[in-house]
Copies of this chain bind each other. A is one copy, B any other.
Amino acid sequence: MELSDIRTFAAVARTGGITRAAEELNTVQSNVTQRIKALEAEIGTPLFERHSRGMTLTGAGKRLLPYAQKMAALSREAALAARDDGEPKGPLAIGSMETTAAVRLPPLLADFHRRFPAVRLTLRTATTADLVAAVLDGSLDGAFVAGPIDHADLTATSAFREELVLVSARRWTTLSELRAGTPESGPTALVFRTGCTYRQRIEQIMTEFGWPSAARFELGTLDGMIGCVAADMGVTLLPRAVVARSEMNGSVSIHTLSPSYARVETLFIHRRAGHQYSALQGFAACLKQDEDVIAA
């Protein structure tokens, strides 16, 4: 059993077909067929059920899959661990929620780059759900996500505490004004794509305010969101630090919420790996050290 067979198996399992797997692996169908056949012969039992629209895992295949994933992950980690001589360097893939990236990360990343210039850090923004999945499957080394997170394969450390506030156009200076000035069903809620934790929170709040069926408008970017709110297209929920500047220049109003809705903790998560990558360790060290400075 070789790792290339394992990777082929995992690709077929994931894509649900030999043709699609072959495409993903940059090879031809016949090749994938043969590898799967060879693997099945070696294991001694079929791993897939063939039907005319693809392949699905048999019981044996289902039992094998988690091992395949773990082995693939281990082989990646192994190479990194061997190369890692303790000096932070090489690639480091960090993920973050859009809001955290906007206000919390710039000073942290600057400091990190100053201290460890040999690390090629890449930052990707996505929703909490996507980030957790990406960290688990190894495509990110660490990520800033909205807590709470509880997963056996992840360690989470508290990074920042945010206060969520409701953001509206400037003309609504208080919540009651907003209530009075909007239709019975409530203002449009401007939300991020699904998977975002703040979105779940605003759903709760809308219900609480008696606007369960208000319109939703989905946006992909933070700037777009603030822009739309400023244009009085609706309201949204964001960390106070994110909208502080926008409030300063008078484009929007912010409305404080009760702590039970407002409080949200940003966690830094990474895999509970056998080996701590120097680059990641360096990042965690920066985070810890800068904690007070950034929170202020």
Q: A78 with B44: in contact, given A85-B59, A274-B70 (CB under 8 Å)?
A: no
A75 within 8 A of B: yes
Q: A84 with B71: in contact, given A42-B79, A78-B1 (CB under 8 Å)?
A: no
Please indicate the chain B residues that have their CB under 8 angstroms from the CB of A47 in the complex: 82
A60 within 8 A of B: yes
Distance between A4 CB and nearest chain B CB, rounded to angstroms: 6
Count how many chain A residues have C-beta atoms less than 8 Å from C-beta atoms of the other chain: 32
Q: Is the CB of A82 within 8 A of B61?
A: yes
Q: A1 with B1: in contact, given A81-B64, A85-B60 (CB under 8 Å)?
A: no
Q: Is the CB of A75 within 8 A of B274?
A: no
A216 within 8 A of B: no
Q: A70 with B63: in contact, given A2-B2, A4-B2, A44-B83 (CB under 8 Å)?
A: no
Residues 4 to 49 of chain A near chain B (Cβ within 8 Å): 4, 6, 42-45, 47
Cα–Cα, bound, A78→B71 (Å): 9
What is the chain B residue whose CB lies nearest that of A71?
B74
A66 within 8 A of B: yes
Q: Is the CB of B82 within 8 A of A60?
A: yes
Please indicate the chain B residues that have their CB under 8 angstroms from the CB of A74 in the complex: 67, 70-71, 74
Determine how many copies of this chain the complex contains.
Answer: 2
19 pairs, A vs B, C-beta closer than 8 Å: A1-B3, A1-B79, A2-B3, A43-B79, A43-B83, A44-B83, A45-B85, A47-B82, A59-B85, A60-B85, A66-B274, A67-B75, A67-B77, A67-B82, A67-B274, A70-B74, A71-B71, A71-B75, A74-B74
Chain A residues with CB under 8 Å of chain B are: 1-4, 6, 42-45, 47, 59-61, 63-64, 66-68, 70-71, 74-75, 77-79, 81-85, 274-275
Q: Is the CB of B66 within 8 A of A82?
A: no
Q: Is the CB of A83 within 8 A of B275?
A: no
Q: Is the CB of B3 within 8 A of A45?
A: no
Distance between A153 CB and nearest chain B CB, rounded to angstroms: 12
Cα–Cα, bound, A59→B83 (Å): 9
Please indicate the chain B residues that have their CB under 8 angstroms from the CB of A4 in the complex: 2
Please indicate the chain B residues that have their CB under 8 angstroms from the CB of A63 in the complex: 81-82, 84, 275
Q: A83 with B71: in contact, given A2-B3, A3-B1, A78-B1 (CB under 8 Å)?
A: no
Please indicate the chain B residues that have their CB under 8 angstroms from the CB of A75 in the complex: 1, 67, 71
Cα–Cα, bound, A85→B62 (Å): 11
Cα–Cα, bound, A67→B75 (Å): 8
Cα–Cα, bound, A221→B79 (Å): 46
